[in-house]
Amino acid sequence: MAEGVEDVLSASSLKSFRRCPQQWYFSHVEKIRMPPSIKQVLGISVHWGAEVNYRQKLETRVDEPEDVVLDAYSTVYDAGMVEVEKHDEDPGKAKDQGAQLMSLYHHTVAPPTQPLWVERQTTFRVISEHAEGCDRVACGCGVPFSATIDLVDEARQVRDTKTAARSPSGGQHLMQVAAGAIGFEAETGERATDLIVDTLVRTKQPKYVQERWGGSVDKPMRKVFAQQVNVASTMIQQGLFPASGAEAGPGGPCSWCGYKPICPVWRKRAEKA
């Protein structure tokens, strides 16, 4: 494995690697931390507001008042904005839009949802096949993987909350949620009944979009997930970090990547333009 790289992949790092291995290299090998964007701060803040509500709801089974959730959102947003260096949109307007999304979530998604797990991390091994002679007891086969599960409700549905500027394309985040569902199964022995992505869309009129897989993680999805993990792990071990994002064209990964100023491939592309 490339020197200085952590041994365990995670759902977020796998997503980053699939998006652009060169971007992953800057973040996970060189450990270069880029300042967040306003969009990222908004998403983190909405996520925190939901978490504050659900953590106490584990015990009380009652949602917090809206002003408590909005205050939690606002506090994290203001703190996060201190780290933002590039204001690519109006911070005040973005904050107001985020508050509208937070309110929409609190009135639409939270009331019928009773949490079982909230922001829980689980670690398991992604095994495509066992090595010859493996006793299956002290098994060290496969790739170690870590998943932080946003939410599992009492119906055993694994859920993730996203914010977006436009309605999501189908399946955009389901593989990340599938990782959480596989982790839930590994830890409890129970299968998740469904995978759900709850997306809050920052349109003029705030919108909520729910995407469901429609059941537990099936064999085809497990196979695709294992293939993605194994391919990423193999490339990392071999030190292969191609800048695939640069091939995505206008509006692709490079359009918002914070590593553009130091990416040699992007610089060459910009010089040709």
Indicate the pLDDT class of residue 166, thresholds 50, 70 and 90: confident
Q: Check residue 42 and give its pLDDT.
A: 97
The answer to whether the CB of 9 falls within 8 A of the CB of 145 is: yes
Q: Check residue 176 and give its pLDDT.
A: 87
Give dist(CA 269, CA 153) in Å, integer: 46
Q: Of residues 249 and 83, which shows the higher confidence score?
A: 83
What are the residues whose beta carbons fall under 8 Å from the beta carbon of 74, sequence distance 6 or more? Answer: 45, 95, 99
Question: Which residues pair with residue 120 across a beta bridge?
Answer: 149
pLDDT above 70 covers what percent of the chain?
A: 86
Please compute the mean of the pLDDT values over residues 44-62 and round it to a whole number.
98
Q: Check residue 241 and give its pLDDT.
A: 92
Give dist(CA 266, CA 244) in Å, integer: 10
Lowest-confidence pick of 105-109, 205-209, 221-225, 268-272: 268-272
Q: What is the mean pLDDT of the chain?
A: 88
pLDDT in tens, 230-250: 999 999 999 999 888 665 555
Name the DSSP letter for residue 37.
Answer: P
Question: Which residues pair with residue 197 across a beta bridge?
Answer: 160, 211
Indicate the pLDDT class of residue 68, thresholds 50, 70 and 90: very high
Residue 224 has pLDDT above 60, yes or no: yes
Q: Check residue 157 and give its pLDDT.
A: 98
Q: Where are the alpha helices (DSSP H) in 61-122?
A: 66-81, 91-108
What are the residues whose beta carbons fall under 8 Å from the beta carbon of 266, sequence distance 6 or more? Answer: 243, 246, 254, 257, 259, 260
Can you give the length of the chain in residues? 273
Please choose, from the candidates 48, 38, 190, the residue with its C-alpha nearest in 3D space to the C-alpha of residue 118: 48
Please compute the mean of the pLDDT values over residues 71-91 and round it to a whole number.
95
Q: Where are the alpha helices (DSSP H) in 20-153?
A: 21-28, 38-60, 66-81, 91-108
pLDDT in tens, 181-191: 999 999 999 99
Residue 199 has pLDDT above 80, yes or no: yes
Indicate the pLDDT class of residue 1, thresholds 50, 70 and 90: very low
Q: Can you give the pTM of this predicted structure?
A: 0.87
Please compute the mean of the pLDDT values over residues 2-27 and round it to a whole number.
80
What are the residues whose beta carbons fall under 8 Å from the beta carbon of 38, sequence distance 6 or more? Answer: 81, 84, 87, 88, 89, 91, 94
pLDDT above 90 covers what percent of the chain?
A: 61
Residue 174 has pLDDT above 60, yes or no: yes
Residue 143 has pLDDT above 90, yes or no: no
Q: Check residue 4 and give its pLDDT.
A: 45
Question: Which residues pair with residue 164 across a beta bridge?
Answer: 201
The answer to whether the CB of 11 falls within 8 A of the CB of 176 is: yes
Q: Check residue 259 and give its pLDDT.
A: 84
Residue 76 has pLDDT above 50, yes or no: yes
Q: Of residues 238 and 173, which shows the higher confidence score?
A: 238
Q: Check residue 249 and give its pLDDT.
A: 55
Name the DSSP letter for residue 125.
Answer: E
The answer to whether the CB of 127 falls within 8 A of the CB of 226 is: yes
